[in-house]
């Protein structure tokens, strides 16, 4: 038995393109991104893994630009973190074979179709790990900013094999006009070579730049089925999308769709809230984006994925970078948001609901959400030798580093140094282990009575393997001796 698969509307909707216009003028996505679609780096998560293949990046848009790769992978990480579906692995064997078909992300080669385009691109019998979708990425000259979408496939073998490829092991999945779920192998994503891109997801675009991170989020949503999947089109009635989660996220009203893109987007100027925040923003999957702006995924966009059949994890309070965990990056973002909570996208940091983001919110995050104590720089649930050693190794004293140093380095108050105040915060919650006390020849009461300088010296002697008590040195002198060999830690994202 042999099976050829396309999506509803395949061939009726041309490749989507976001068109760049002068600053302040919307760049319009004129149609849903491609429905007939065709070295791997994965962004892991507890559920879905979005895996990017750069094997077809023949113009080296990503291969020669690590910042662009990091930004693309950050966008993939967002979806990896919020989608928890369990997808079966695909491993061809014996008479069970298949091929994947998609548009080349770096050339004009179109997707393979045995009846229409026998010279098109396809890959025969790839293997795919469990819980993984694969997106082939690259760049070429396009009429707009980018285009993307899910791939198609052909399969031959047993009925069970064909069902596996169609459903990825998702129970009760239906396709075609009755589709109620979506489980693709992956797809393709291509960016325009001729644009002035902001490649860095950690920086907002300049007024004359297009934001790679925003466009990647938008286009990956198309790969995941928004505006492209059978289960999207099966819920369209007239000019509305009738999915119940999307309706609820749109204040109880079925959201309108953009007919100029054949129903592949929300209607222009559809507003929602940035996902898991009270901040209003145009939906990422409406057809427009302003030059020089960043547009993030909204509650409505995530609700659309839920309606397509994806399993969406509930948002985690305090997970400000949406990576699925409470970590040093989150407390660093909270520190960076100190000030009035009414400023852009800051209300979500105001954990004590007093309209200002300050040390009270940081304490609420540390003790209430992370369930630990101030000074636990590795957030492992205790304030111990590793935390103290890290702080002393990165101690700057009162010298201003010119930027906020990370929590991971020992910066417990979010300022531009790691100083006496940070050390005292850590010291208040610190405890030597019994073996460490034995090595230092100290009782617990003696350890509690150590002066700051004696405590710092004891930590350093443990680090150096010098466990015979020596005369205490002043805290600043002990720390200053370490500054010369200080290793600066970068934020890990």
From CA 396, how far away is CA 405, in angstroms rounded? 10
Domain tally, the chain? 3
Residue at a domain's end among 369, 398, 426: 369
Same domain, 403 and 358: no
Same domain, 251 and 358: no
From CA 133, how far away is CA 229, in angstroms rounded? 15
Same domain, 79 and 173: yes
Residue 489 lies in a domain: no
Q: How far lies 57's CA from each of 62, 74, 111, 179, 232, in Å?
A: 7, 18, 16, 33, 29
Residue 492 lies in a domain: no
Same domain, 219 and 356: no
Q: Is the pTM of this model over 0.85?
A: no
The answer to whether the Cα torsion of 203, 204, 209, 213 is positive or negative is: positive
CB environment 202-230: b (16+ within 10 A), e (fewer): eeebeeebbbbbbbbbbbbbbbbbbbbbb
pLDDT value of residue 46: 52
Residue 31 has pLDDT above 50, yes or no: no
pLDDT tens figures, 79-97: 998 899 999 999 999 999 9
Same domain, 396 and 444: yes
Fill in the DSSP letter of residue 245: H
Same domain, 50 and 90: yes
pLDDT value of residue 43: 40
From CA 231, how far away is CA 219, in angstroms rounded? 17
Same domain, 338 and 417: no
From CA 413, how far away is CA 391, in angstroms rounded? 12
Cβ atoms 267, 258 nearer than 8 A: yes
What are the residues whose beta carbons fall under 8 Å from the beta carbon of 14, sequence distance 6 or more?
31
Residue 138 lies in a domain: yes
Residue at a domain's end among 227, 246, 273: 273
Same domain, 355 and 438: no
Same domain, 346 and 421: no
pLDDT tens figures, 250-272: 999 999 999 888 889 999 999 99
pLDDT tens figures, 399-435: 787 788 899 999 999 988 999 899 999 999 998 999 9
Residue at a domain's end among 242, 257, 273: 273
Provide the residue range defining the domain that includes 191.
2-273
pLDDT tens figures, 202-247: 888 999 999 999 999 999 999 999 999 999 999 999 999 999 999 9
Same domain, 8 and 50: yes
- Percentage of the chain modeled with pLDDT above 90: 60
Q: What's the 3-state SS for 373-428?
A: CCCCCCCCCCCCHHHHHHHHHCCCCCCCCCCCCCHHHCCCCCCCCCCHHHHHHHHH
121 pLDDT band (50/70/90 cuts)? Answer: very high
Same domain, 254 and 396: no
Same domain, 116 and 43: yes
Residue 440 lies in a domain: yes
pLDDT tens figures, 141-154: 999 899 999 999 99
């Amino acid at each position: 038995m042999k099976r050829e698969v396309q999506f509803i509307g395949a061939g009726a909707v041309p490749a989507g393109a976001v068109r760049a216009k002068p600053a302040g003028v919307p760049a319009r996505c004129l149609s849903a991104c491609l429905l007939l679609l065709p070295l791997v780096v994965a962004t892991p998560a507890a559920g879905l893994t979005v895996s990017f293949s750069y094997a077809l990046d023949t113009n080296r848009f990503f291969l020669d630009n690590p910042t662009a790769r990091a930004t693309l992978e950050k966008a993939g990480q967002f979806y990896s973190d919020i989608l928890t579906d369990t997808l079966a692995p695909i491993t061809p064997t014996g008479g069970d074979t298949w091929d994947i078909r998609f548009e080349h992300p770096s050339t004009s080669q179109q997707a393979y179709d045995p009846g229409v385009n026998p010279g098109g691109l396809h890959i025969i019998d790839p293997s795919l790990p469990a819980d993984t979708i694969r997106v082939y990425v690259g760049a070429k000259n396009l009429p707009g900013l980018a285009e993307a979408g899910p791939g198609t496939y052909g399969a031959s073998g047993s009925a069970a094999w064909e069902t596996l490829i169609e459903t990825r092991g998702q129970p009760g999945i239906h396709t075609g006009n009755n589709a109620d779920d979506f489980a693709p192998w992956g797809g393709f994503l291509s960016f325009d070579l001729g644009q002035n891109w902001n490649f860095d997801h950690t920086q907002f675009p300049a007024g004359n730049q297009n934001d790679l991170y925003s466009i990647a989020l938008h286009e990956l949503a198309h790969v995941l089925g928004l505006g492209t999947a059978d289960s999207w089109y099966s819920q369209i009635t007239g000019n509305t999308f009738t999915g119940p989660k999307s309706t609820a996220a749109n204040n109880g009203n079925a959201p309108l769709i953009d007919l100029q893109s054949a129903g592949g987007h929300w209607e222009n100027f559809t507003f929602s809230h940035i996902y898991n925040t009270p901040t209003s923003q145009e939906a990422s999957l409406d057809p427009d984006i302003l030059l020089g702006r960043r547009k993030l995924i909204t509650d409505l966009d995530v609700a659309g994925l839920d309606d397509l059949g994806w399993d969406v994890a509930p948002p985690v309070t305090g997970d400000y970078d949406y990576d699925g965990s409470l970590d040093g990056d989150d407390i660093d973002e909270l520190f960076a948001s100190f000030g009035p909570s009414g400023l852009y996208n800051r209300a979500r940091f105001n954990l004590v609901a007093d309209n200002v983001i300050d040390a009270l919110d940081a304490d609420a995050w540390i003790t209430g959400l992370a369930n630990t104590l101030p000074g636990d720089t590795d957030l492992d649930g205790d304030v111990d030798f590793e935390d103290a050693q890290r702080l002393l190794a990165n101690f700057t004293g009162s010298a201003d580093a010119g930027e906020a140093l990370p929590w991971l380095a020992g910066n417990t108050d979010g300022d531009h140094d790691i100083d006496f105040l940070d050390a005292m915060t850590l010291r208040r919650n610190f405890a030597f282990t019994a073996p460490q006390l034995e090595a230092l020849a100290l009782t617990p009461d003696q350890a509690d009575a150590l002066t700051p300088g004696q405590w710092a010296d004891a930590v350093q002697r443990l680090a150096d393997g010098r466990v015979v008590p020596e005369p205490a040195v002043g805290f600043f002198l002990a720390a200053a001796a370490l500054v010369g060999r200080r290793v600066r830690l970068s934020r890990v994202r």
